[in-house]
């Protein structure tokens, strides 16, 4: 239900842009593959893959799942690196460096604390 609402939302959000870009590229590329559509395809498939995997995770591991997936969401770090390290001017660099610090904290801290938690889950045989 959530996924559905969410998918509908995404589609509604992106719809005008999709239509416009489609029209533009149809003129430009003679109906060739559209980049935005490719990105949306990747996104949609990844959401379904995520749902498939994560529904199988037992409640016992929900907290580590949250902190671990949290670390993964720090992937914005890549964008931060490109902003801070590229030829973009001072303002972009400042924003980029701040983002690098934030995202690295999120990534490194997230993985370390998840590891710390998971190491505690054991059974005595």
Footprint of another protein on 40-99 (CB under 8 A): 42-43, 46-51, 53-89, 91-93, 95-99
Contact between 7 and another protein (CB under 8 A)?
no
Tokens for 14?
């992106």
Shortest distance, CB of residue 29 to another protein, whole angstroms?
Answer: 11
What residues from 16 to 45 belong to the interface with another protein (CB under 8 A)?
Answer: 17-18, 20-21, 24, 35-36, 39, 42-43
Q: Shortest Cβ distance from residue 56 to another protein (Å)?
A: 5
List C-alpha distances in Å: 96 to 71, 77, 106: 19, 9, 15
Q: Which is nearer to another protein, 32 or 122 (CB)?
A: 122
- Block residue for tokens 């996924």: 3
Q: Give the three-class secondary structure for 70.
A: helix
97, 89 contact by CB (below 8 A): no
* Rg of the chain over all Cα atoms, to the nearest angstrom: 20
């Amino acid at each position: 239900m959530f996924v559905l609402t969410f998918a509908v939302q995404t589609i509604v959000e992106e719809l005008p842009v999709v239509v416009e870009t489609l029209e533009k590229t149809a003129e430009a590329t003679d109906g060739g593959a559209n980049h935005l559509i490719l990105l949306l395809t990747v996104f949609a498939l990844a959401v379904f893959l995520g749902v498939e995997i994560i529904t199988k995770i037992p409640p016992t591991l929900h907290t580590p799942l949250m902190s671990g997936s949290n670390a993964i969401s720090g992937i914005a770090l890549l964008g931060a690196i490109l902003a801070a390290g590229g030829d973009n001017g001072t303002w972009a660099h400042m924003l980029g460096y701040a983002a690098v610090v934030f995202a690295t904290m999120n990534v490194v801290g997230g993985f370390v604390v998840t590891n710390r938690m998971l190491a505690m889950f054991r059974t005595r045989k």
